[in-house]
Amino acid sequence: MWFHKPKRNMQSIQANNYLVHFNQNAYEALNTHLKENKYSNLFIIVDNETNEYCLPKFLPLLETDLNIEIIEFEAGEANKNIETCIQIWNVLTELGADRKSLIINLGGGVVTDLGGFVASTFKRGIDFINIPTTLLSMVDASVGGKTGVDLGNLKNQIGVINVPQMVLIDSNYLETLSQAEMRSGLAEMLKHGLIYDAAYWKQFLDLKSIDYADFDELIYRSVEIKNDIVIQDPTEKNIRKALNFGHTLGHAIESYFLESEIKTTLLHGEAIAIGMILESYISLHKGLISTEEYAEIKTALKNIYDDVQIEENDIDPILELLIHDKKNEYGLIQFALIEGIGKIKINQSVENKLILDAFQDYKS
């Protein structure tokens, strides 16, 4: 089992006002935190899957005399909404949660986003700790302080920026995660390489040669990169927009496949992988990357992710969704492109024709 190989002692990463702890260090930091803070009681929020797969791993490592209550909701993005929050606020109230209660969110991005929002708003905000259990939530949702829920079809429409007391990343939880969910999280790691660190990107070119014991190091580097970017630009005025690489078109594709009755739903990372190919093509044709770089990116992504059928008549509705993307200020579609592998060029407007060409090239 590769996750059980001994790991080097990984230093905690200083995020904006909190620490991200890794593997063995994480539980020590948590237990110390519990000793040093006089919490009244402890609530652990899980979904039904992390209740089954992750909670049994977590509880034996927890050292505390506090009364512990488990709050479970049904897994899935469809439940990341205000109704679920209301249920949890009610349960917290019935179980006597107060301003000195602590919430631990144990799960993927749905649990940490929703649980973070529940904690940030309950009695005007109580302490919470996030333990991400999917690859995506470890490398992406662990940093940045975004919490929130969806409003109908509108993703993350309601929320607040608020930081946890700490984040614990333990790759042992990934043991039970499906290959598809692993690949979905991997897309964000590839993005981190493409926008910020060419040497990091290179490590993924021959995935088969990656000794999975090294995977911890890769997760660590991704957290470091996202954190570096967020710290430089917490309010997303400039460089943080780099994190949108692959997401302008990727989000539109993800929404289109979600809404379509005949298409199978794509995981976030699967849609972002397509978005990164398309936006690399656009980067190529804006003279920002070379033909060789484009070929390298396209080949690497197509090796990892299955081809997705995008028909001629899918493209228009995808572009419609793109225009409605909330990230477009003043009606202009702005892309974060790459300028060579490992470097970003933000605020790029792109003509429609080039977007259409990018789709044709993806299909070829």
Ligand X SMILES: NC(=O)c1ccc[n+]([C@@H]2O[C@H](COP(=O)([O-])OP(=O)(O)OC[C@H]3O[C@@H](n4cnc5c(N)ncnc54)[C@H](O)[C@@H]3O)[C@@H](O)[C@H]2O)c1
Q: CB 213: neighbour CB atoms within 10 A?
A: 14
Residue 33 vs 80, nearer CB to ligand X: 80
CA atoms within 13 A on the CB side of 50: 29
176 in contact with ligand X (CB under 6 A): yes
Minimal distance, residue 153 CB to ligand X, in Å: 13
Would you give the binding string for ligand X spanning residues 12-31, x where CB under 6 A is met?
Answer: --------------------
137 in contact with ligand X (CB under 6 A): yes
For ligand X, the binding residues in 52-81 under the rule CB under 6 A are 53-54, 75-77, 80
Distance (Å, whole) CA 360 – CA 310: 9
User: Is residue 45 left, alpha or beta, with left meaning phi > 0 and alpha meaning psi from -120 to 50?
Assistant: beta
Distance (Å, whole) CA 101 – CA 301: 44
Minimal distance, residue 304 CB to ligand X, in Å: 17
136 in contact with ligand X (CB under 6 A): yes
Distance (Å, whole) CA 307 – CA 305: 6
140 in contact with ligand X (CB under 6 A): yes
280 in contact with ligand X (CB under 6 A): no
Residue 173 vs 362, nearer CB to ligand X: 173
Distance (Å, whole) CA 356 – CA 252: 14
The CA-atom distances, in angstroms, between 338 and each of 171, 196, 221, 254, 288 are 30, 9, 19, 21, 7
Residue 120 vs 298, nearer CB to ligand X: 120
Judged by the rule CB under 6 A, the positions of this chain that interact with ligand X are: 47, 49-50, 53-54, 75-77, 80, 107-111, 113, 133-134, 136-137, 140-141, 144, 146, 155-156, 173, 176-177, 181, 184, 268
